[in-house]
Structure 1
Amino acid sequence: MRQNPSFAMTDPTELRRVIELNPWATLVSDADDGLVASHYVVLLDDERDDLTVVGHVGRPDDLIHGLGERELMIAFQGPHGYISPGWYGDVAAVPTWNFVSVHLSGVPEILSDEENLRVLERMVDVFESRMPDPRGMWTLPNDEAFVRRLAAGTVGFRLTPTKVVAKRKLSQNKPLETVENVLTQLEGTGAHASAELAAEMRRAHEVRRERQA
């Protein structure tokens, strides 16, 4: 991901927030047969306060990616959307796409069976906790044999990144008046409205205002 100083994200708290809110990630590695990409849920490691993440892949994706043996890049995609040149007013302009992305790279550590089981259990709990009647991984009719048989088909990993590239391209290079026009459109009801993207833009521009104060 090409970086631009105007759009760089460097605050670890902000990076953790984007990762936590967007756990459906893309895993990319340079495999024996060329580039390979997979899609899995990846969570922040709840025992760490840095950018270490944990997740799992289904077999044989561990072999395809060379998990634990070669570099893996994990890409988290936040809110994104189309920005019309008409939103910039009566000036020369072209369309663009605003987005938030975080890329973590490093060689992952393979988890033990018991560590993997704990990560899988936490993943279920994270998402089931939002349900009116949550079903945990160990909730009946699941029994231990069933859970362990499914877990055996996965390989867990922990990745502490050695390289982080994070970017939020949210019209920071535009005048504040233009930004407000874009926000009005995103928060409206038009074809390209996006409340989530607007919220990220407002967050980014609060940081911009603080730096200019």
Structure 2
Amino acid sequence: MRHTPHFLMTDVDEVKRLVTGNPWATIVSHTDAGIVASHYPFLLEAPGPDEDPDEIVLVSHVGRPDEVAHELGRHEVLVVVQGPHGYVSPAWYPPEQFVPTWNHVTAHLWGTPELLSDDENFRVLGELVDHFERVMPEPVSLEIDEETARRMAKGTVGIRIRITRFDARAKLSQNKAPEVVDRIIAGLRGDGPYASPALADEMERAHAARADDREER
């Protein structure tokens, strides 16, 4: 990503929050055959009692033969997590500011995948289903028919990625005056063509945190 120090997101907990809220991610590999990209849901794996609580560990699965196409386990991969994003119109700026922009919250995370055993893969698959089903009125679980679920799971390969480094950005109009930020948020919460309540939420959260930091100083 473009080097923009004032938009850097360095707080590990904020990156974890981004992953949790936006689990559909892109995995990119630089293989002998060229660049390969796929899209899968990722979950954060909770640290064990003897593990670093600040470590970011992702778990997921790929459908066969993606593990071959990505050469998983042989080299580092990039996982791209995209949070709320959207066009910011200069209609929300003062007249002298006429250049639009695109606000976003994005993280690039690197690590070398570990291939999971069949049992671990099935456990992760179950956790993925349970994670997304928990908000349903009548959640469905793989335990409904474990034999069939295990048979279908053989078409997937589980992965664990311990993140060794990340580059995250929260570009949320931090370079704008408070009254302009308020207008942008109002525009994003409106009913216009570029309405984005989720992006408005991120902007409010970020600017509230900045205000708290200024007060503490």
| TM-score, normalising length: structure 1 | 0.95
Partner in structure 2 of residue 43 of structure 1: 43
Correspondence for 2:179 among 161, 166, 177: 177
Counterpart CA distance in 1 for 2:126 and 2:180 is 46
Within 5 Å, which residues of 2 pair with 1:95-106?
A: 95-106=100-111
Query: Structure 1, residues 169-191: CA drift from partner, whole Å, max 9, x if none?
Result: 00001111111110111111111
Counterpart CA distance in 2 for 1:66 and 1:109 is 11
Query: Structure 1, residues 74-103: CA drift from partner, whole Å, max 9, x if none?
Result: 111100011001111211321111000111
How many angstroms does 1:210 deviate by?
2.3
How many angstroms does 1:14 deviate by?
1.1
Counterpart CA distance in 1 for 2:142 and 2:99 is 49
Aligned partner of 2:18: which letter? V
Identity within the alignment, %: 50
Partner in structure 2 of residue 23 of structure 1: 23
- Can you give the 5+ residue segments of structure 2 that lack an aligned partner in the other structure? none
Pair 1:3–1:207, CA change in 2 (3 A):
farther
Counterpart CA distance in 2 for 1:177 and 1:128 is 41
How many angstroms does 1:46 deviate by?
2.6
Counterpart CA distance in 1 for 2:32 and 2:137 is 45
Query: Secondary structure in 2 aligned to 1:6?
Result: helix
How many angstroms does 1:143 deviate by?
4.0
Counterpart CA distance in 2 for 1:171 and 1:196 is 15
Query: Secondary structure in 2 aligned to 1:134?
Result: coil
Correspondence for 2:211 among 206, 209, 213: 209
Q: Conserved in 2, the CA contact under 8 Å of 1:3 and 1:167?
A: no
Q: Conserved in 2, the CA contact under 8 Å of 1:29 and 1:37?
A: yes
Aligned partner of 1:63: which letter? V
Counterpart CA distance in 2 for 1:194 and 1:65 is 34
How many angstroms does 1:68 deviate by?
0.6
**Greater alpha carbon shift after TM alignment, 70-79 vs 42-51:** 42-51
Moved over 4 A (4+): none
* Alpha-carbon RMSD: 1.2
Aligned partner of 1:43: which letter? L
Counterpart CA distance in 2 for 1:162 and 1:132 is 38
Query: Secondary structure in 1 aligned to 2:7?
Result: coil
Correspondence for 1:195 among 197, 200, 205: 197
Correspondence for 1:85 among 90, 106, 114: 90
Partner in structure 2 of residue 168 of structure 1: 170
Q: How many residues align?
A: 210
Partner in structure 2 of residue 60 of structure 1: 65
Counterpart CA distance in 2 for 1:27 and 1:2 is 19
Aligned partner of 1:117: which letter? F
Partner in structure 2 of residue 74 of structure 1: 79
Aligned partner of 1:9: which letter? M
Counterpart CA distance in 1 for 2:73 and 2:33 is 17
Within 5 Å, which residues of 2 pair with 1:3-14?
A: 3-14=3-14
Query: Secondary structure in 2 aligned to 1:79?
Result: strand
